Amino acid sequence: MHRLIPTLLVILAGPAVRAAEPPAPLVPVPSPQQLRWQRAEMTMFLHFGVNTFTDREWGDGKESPDVFHPTDLDCRQWVRQARATGFGMMILTAKHHDGFCLWPSRFTDHSVRSSKWQDGQGDVVRQFVEACREGQMPAAFYLSPWDRHEPSYGDSPRYNQHFVNQLTELLTTYGPFAEVWFDGACGEGPNGKRQEYDWPSYYGTIRKLEPTALIAICGPDVRWVGNESGVARSGESSVRDAGAHQGSDARGKVWYPAECDVSIRPGWFYHASQDDKVKSVTHLLDIYFKSVGRNSVLLLNVPPDRAGQISKFDVQRLTEFRAALDEIFKTDLCAGRPTHGSNIRGNNPRFAAANVTDGNLDTYWGTDDGVTTGSVEIAWEAAQPVNVINVQEYIPLGERVRRYHIEAKTAGQWRTVAGGTIIGHRNLLRIPVVTAQALRLVIDEAAACPAICSFGAYHSELAAPAGSGSLAAHQPADASNVHGGGTVFGADKAVDDDPETRWATADEVRQCWLEVDLRQPQTIDRITIAELEPRITKFQIEYRLTLDEAWKTAMSGDKAGRRFEANFPPVQARHVRLHILDATFAPTIWEFGVFGPGKQERKP
């Protein structure tokens, strides 16, 4: 009889055991490399090259290699600062658009080998990767496909082979690398023909020689968020339809997370004139909440100076930035608190609600299959002030939540204080301070049973929202003309809430437009314009609800200037355009703001 008891127990326990198995993944899911990259949350970009010494942003490839002459190169200092700030990877511009190589490439004469620096024996890439290995920091490189020095550029087959040669040289001489970063900058070669990049060949080379390396931006593993302001959209998703970068045979949905690139200074390369224009801690925190806090990775550029070190001004700001983050997140008010889940998968402690407060991203609260709504509640003995909420999904099982909200219990009553759509790796929600007796995460809709690995709450005065409050801030922007100096003068710079960056047009331009997509219909009745200097002599503010509508005029003006503000009768608009009809010289706009009734501008 006793021999039957174990068998009987197995039979009785069978359904519960099956119910307590982990949920099936909701494909697509991240690769192990993508998961590590997303959990690192911040990457440091290092723009360094001949532009550092010519005081330019885009070189033309005609620079003498001798201009490159760092007086005290210290890549270990770069790594120490990156680690101290909390970056999880570092990317070096091994070659920018000027074609100058920071390693002694065998395939060009435009490299450190041809410079007088260290008698032509210097190798920045070598020193960089050795410093990264010593500091246990994953290393990556940016290799510009656009090469304004290389004679074969524009002769597509020849240049593509040249580019593969340089890729191969870097990967086989200096690896391993965690990531290879490409952009899509492209131009005409000396033959007058536009270069056609052989992306499949580039990807194939990387996959063969460095199979675990991510290929970013113009690549299949990581995508550009769409601006250079460091800001993602609310509800940013890592799931996208397969596109050209995934290959001609790719179909359906793919895991393709967003990266938000921005520079700590107005420019991407170091300029001494910008030492007093380093982004404020408040601005950097705002970027952090709108990138990392919106399910994206922050790629912050910190350009080494002419000595070859991160400047003392940038070091100070990074130190302050880290201290501010530590202050904001030093105390998770939910950590270790009693929790209650509306449903526990299989009633198994492995999927208990307590997992959302244990500080471990590899444990999670899960519900039974078919249960796609639910809640987790956390309570305190004494009410706590809260103004930051952290919510994270266990993304190895995919993005599952489609809509959620946060409730706070105050004076015995529950009320909604925040909400969102996609959670993904991380959502950080800043809210007005609420003194709460309890918090509740409510999943309103999910594509599969939820898997939540973290639910936290914080309070800090440093977390107060920053920025102007403009409806146009960080929204998609386009312009009829952009100055040839590069993306540093792009349309997005007029709506990035940064008074030190600007949209600029070519010198000969006198008529142009700047258009902003507000993403949804909004009531607007006020605009602000901040010019570099008074140049606009005639303009119109135009609007429309849909792309197929004709533009309508909300107001007209004769002059703007350094600080212009105007009201007009309220209108409904999704698309807003600053249409400059005449100017004394090339229009250049620091910021263009759009506001609704009762919305007061906040100082960035």
Query: Residue 468: inside a domain, yes or no?
Result: no
Per residue in 470-525, pLDDT tens? Answer: 999 888 999 999 998 778 899 999 998 888 889 999 999 999 999 999 989 999 99
Averaged pLDDT of the chain: 94
Q: Are residues 446 and 482 in the same domain?
A: no
Mean pLDDT of the region 366-393: 97
Exposure of 138 in the CB half-sphere (CA atoms within 13 A): 19
Q: Are residues 448 and 506 in the same domain?
A: no
pLDDT at 602: 55
Angle of helix 124-134 relative to helix 75-85, nearest 10 degrees, comes to 40
Cβ contacts of 535 within 8 Å, gap of 6 or more: 583, 584, 585, 586, 587, 588
Q: Are residues 415 and 303 in the same domain?
A: no
Of 292, 326, 360, which marks where a domain is finished? 326
Binned at pLDDT 50, 70 and 90, residue 255 comes out as: very high
Query: Residue 62: inside a domain, yes or no?
Result: yes
Per residue in 574-603, pLDDT tens? Answer: 999 999 999 999 999 999 999 999 866 554
Q: Are residues 155 and 247 in the same domain?
A: yes
Question: Which tokens go with 306?
Answer: 């002419």
Residue 235 main-chain phi, psi, to 5 deg: 75, 20
Q: Are residues 421 and 297 in the same domain?
A: no
pLDDT at 599: 64
Per residue in 283-326, pLDDT tens? Answer: 999 999 999 999 999 999 999 999 999 999 999 999 999 999 99
Burial (CB < 10 A; 0-12, 13-18, 19+), residue 269, is: buried
Query: Residue 570: inside a domain, yes or no?
Result: yes
pLDDT at 11: 35
Q: Are residues 223 and 254 in the same domain?
A: yes
Domain harbouring 45, CATH code: 3.20.20.80
Binned at pLDDT 50, 70 and 90, residue 604 comes out as: very low
pLDDT at 212: 97
Query: Residue 523: inside a domain, yes or no?
Result: yes
Query: Residue 111: inside a domain, yes or no?
Result: yes
Q: Are residues 69 and 204 in the same domain?
A: yes
**Amino acid found at 429:** L
Q: Are residues 421 and 510 in the same domain?
A: no
d(CA 582, CA 592): 17
Q: Are residues 433 and 504 in the same domain?
A: no
Query: Residue 333: inside a domain, yes or no?
Result: no
Q: Are residues 190 and 76 in the same domain?
A: yes
Of 302, 326, 350, which marks where a domain is finished? 326
Specify which residues 253 forms β-bridges with: 241
Mean pLDDT of the region 425-441: 96
pLDDT at 16 > cutoff 70? no
Number of other residues whose CB lies within 10 A of the CB of residue 105? 22
Domain harbouring 422, CATH code: 2.60.120.260
Number of other residues whose CB lies within 10 A of the CB of residue 192? 7
Which domain, by its residues, includes 535?
477-595
Q: What percent of the chain has pLDDT over 90?
A: 90
Q: Are residues 210 and 263 in the same domain?
A: yes
Q: Are residues 294 and 385 in the same domain?
A: no
Query: Residue 471: inside a domain, yes or no?
Result: no
**59 in Cβ contact with 50 (< 8 Å):** yes
pLDDT at 15: 41
Q: What percent of the chain has pLDDT over 70?
A: 96
Domain count of the fold of the chain:
3
Binned at pLDDT 50, 70 and 90, residue 85 comes out as: very high
Kindly list the distances between the CA atom of residue 518 and the CA atoms of 226, 228, 522, 582, in Å, as whole numbers in the listed order: 15, 17, 7, 25
Kindly report whether the global pTM for this prediction surpasses the value 0.85.
yes
Query: Residue 540: inside a domain, yes or no?
Result: yes
Per residue in 201-245, pLDDT tens? Answer: 999 999 999 999 999 999 999 999 998 999 999 999 999 999 989
Of 301, 326, 351, which marks where a domain is finished? 326
